[in-house]
Structure 1
Amino acid sequence: MYDLEHLESRLGTLQEHAGDGMKAFWAFDKAAFAPGAIDAKTKQLLALATALTTQCPYCIELHTDAARKAGASDDELAETAMVAAAIRAGGAVTHATHMFKK
């Protein structure tokens, strides 16, 4: 199912059939990643952590590449992965408390 070529070749189809929605999405995406209070590298590491927790292979690849282009090191990428893993595991632990209702 996952093939980066599918993403690249099929986004046009989505754009064709949902033009207004896709136009709004791309504008929002551009605004979210625009320079601001958070620098480009940090924004890409945040996006990568989110991609790891949602397990989107396209986003993992795209935001890893973007983070590297923004200057992220292997150490920063690895720590980002560990933070994402901690958040995901933490969700399982905290949700487990619902098993023990009195």
Structure 2
Amino acid sequence: MFDMKNLSRLKKLDENAPEAMKAFWAFDKAAFADGALTGLHKQLIAVAVALTTQCPYCIELHTKAARAAGASDAQLSEAAVVAAAIRAGGAITHATHVLT
């Protein structure tokens, strides 16, 4: 089901829901603009979130964007480990719900 070519169909969303998609693209651009966090840091966060949501499109797109912003293998690796720790931590803390 995953195929990067599918992203070409985003144009159909733009055509069929122009106002909502215009708002989405503006929000996306603003979210990733430099601010208190650099674009590199925001892309590393995006990679970590993409790994936890397991979205292959996001993983590929944000890894490329992080690399373009200067991310090293070490930075991407640490982002991945943080994502794994958060995912595992959620399982551990939710385990308290099964203990009586």
TM-score using structure 2 length: 0.96
CA distances 1:51-73 after superposition (whole Å, capped 9, x unpaired): 00011100000000000111110
Give the Cα separation in 1 of the matches to 2:95 and 2:82: 20
* Counterpart residue identity of residue 17, structure 1: N
Give the Cα separation in 2 of the matches to 1:16 and 1:97: 47
Deviating above 2 A after TM superposition, structure 1's stretches of 4 or more consecutive aligned residues are: none
Give the Cα separation in 2 of the matches to 1:45 and 1:68: 9
Give the Cα separation in 2 of the matches to 1:92 and 1:14: 36
* Counterpart residue identity of residue 2, structure 1: F
- Show the counterpart of 1:74: 73
- Show the counterpart of 1:56: 55
Give the Cα separation in 2 of the matches to 1:81 and 1:35: 22
- Show the counterpart of 2:23: 24
1:47 aligns with 2:46: yes
Aligned residues: 100
- Show the counterpart of 1:6: 6
SS at match of 1:61: helix
Q: CA deviation at 1:47?
A: 0.6
CA distances 1:23-61 after superposition (whole Å, capped 9, x unpaired): 110010011011111011101000110100011100000
- Show the counterpart of 1:65: 64
SS at match of 1:44: helix
CA RMSD of aligned residues (A): 0.8
**Please, which runs of 5 or more residues in structure 2 have no aligned partner?**
none
